[in-house]
Structure 1
Amino acid sequence: MNNNIRALFFDIDGTLVSFSTHRIPDSTVSALEQAKHNGVKIYISTGRPVSLIVNLSQIDSLIDGYVSTNGAYCFVGNDVVSCSSMLRHDVDVILSACEEWRVPAVVVGTDKIAVFQEDGSIDKAFRVGLGINNVVFSPLDEVLEGPILQLTPFFSPEQEALVMPRLEACTSGRWTPAFTDITSVKADKGLGLRAMAAHEGLAIGQTMAFGDGGNDIPILRTAGVGVAMGNAGEEVKAVAGYVTTSVDEDGVMNALRHFHVI
Structure 2
Amino acid sequence: MIALIGIDVDGTLVGHSGEVPDIVWKTAEQARAAGIHLALCSGRPAFGVAAEYARRLDDDGWHIFQNGASIVNLATRESRSTPLPEGCVRGLISQARETEQVLELYGDDDYAVESEAPWASQHADLLGLPFKPRPFETLLPPLVRGQWLLSPEDAERIEAPPDLEMAQSTSPLMPNVRFVGLTRKGVSKGSAMREIAAAYRIDMRDVMYIGDSGNDISALRVVGHPIAMGNADPEVIQAAGRTVGHVDEAGVAEALRIALASR
Asked whether 1:147 is paired with 2:145, we answer no
Q: Aligned residue for 2:29?
A: 33
Mapped to 1, the partners of 2:217 and 2:240 lie a distance apart of: 8
Mapped to 1, the partners of 2:48 and 2:215 lie a distance apart of: 17
Could you tell me how far 1:194 is from its partner in structure 2? 0.6
Pairing 1:64-213 to 2, within 5 Å after superposition: 64-76=61-73, 77-78=75-76, 80=78, 82-127=80-125, 130=126, 132-135=128-131, 140-143=136-139, 145-156=140-151, 159-160=154-155, 163-165=158-160, 167-176=161-170, 177-213=177-213
Give the secondary-structure state (helix, strand or coil) at the position aligned to 1:85: coil
Is the CA contact 2:48–2:129 (under 8 Å) kept in the aligned structure 1? Answer: no
Q: Aligned residue for 2:8?
A: 11
Pairing 1:236-255 to 2, within 5 Å after superposition: 236-255=236-255
Q: CA deviation digits over 1:22-58, x for unaligned, max 9?
A: 1111111111111111111111101011123447459
Q: CA deviation digits over 1:155-205, x for unaligned, max 9?
A: 34554565535x131111111243311111131100000111111111111
Unaligned runs of 5+ in 2: 171-176
Mapped to 2, the partners of 1:212 and 1:246 lie a distance apart of: 10
Give the secondary-structure state (helix, strand or coil) at the position aligned to 1:105: strand
Aligned residue identity for 1:155: L
Is the CA contact 1:9–1:44 (under 8 Å) kept in the aligned structure 2? Answer: yes
Q: Which is worse superposed, 71-80 or 21-30? A: 71-80
Q: CA deviation digits over 1:124-163, x for unaligned, max 9?
A: 2343xx36353567753221x5121111122345545655
Identity %: 27
Is the CA contact 1:81–1:195 (under 8 Å) kept in the aligned structure 2? Answer: no
Is the CA contact 1:12–1:45 (under 8 Å) kept in the aligned structure 2? Answer: yes
Q: CA deviation digits over 1:72-126, x for unaligned, max 9?
A: 0102232535211111121122222222221121110232211122322211234
Mapped to 1, the partners of 2:76 and 2:129 lie a distance apart of: 26
Aligned residue pairs total: 254
Unaligned runs of 5+ in 1: none
Mapped to 2, the partners of 1:137 and 1:201 lie a distance apart of: 42
Give the secondary-structure state (helix, strand or coil) at the position aligned to 1:96: helix
Q: Which is worse superposed, 81-90 or 228-237? A: 81-90
Mapped to 1, the partners of 2:105 and 2:142 lie a distance apart of: 10
Evaluate the alpha carbon distance shift between residue 151 and residue 100 of structure 1 in structure 2; reply closer, same or farther with a 3 A threshold.
same
Aligned residue identity for 1:193: M
Is the CA contact 2:106–2:146 (under 8 Å) kept in the aligned structure 1? Answer: yes
Give the secondary-structure state (helix, strand or coil) at the position aligned to 1:84: coil
Coordinate RMSD, CA, aligned: 2.4
Q: Which is worse superposed, 193-202 or 59-68? A: 59-68
Give the secondary-structure state (helix, strand or coil) at the position aligned to 1:80: coil
Q: Aligned residue for 2:173?
A: none
Is the CA contact 2:44–2:127 (under 8 Å) kept in the aligned structure 1? Answer: no
The two structures have a TM-score, normalised by structure 1, of: 0.87
The two structures have a TM-score, normalised by structure 2, of: 0.87
Evaluate the alpha carbon distance shift between residue 92 and residue 162 of structure 1 in structure 2; reply closer, same or farther with a 3 A threshold.
farther
Aligned residue identity for 1:45: C
Mapped to 1, the partners of 2:256 and 2:109 lie a distance apart of: 34
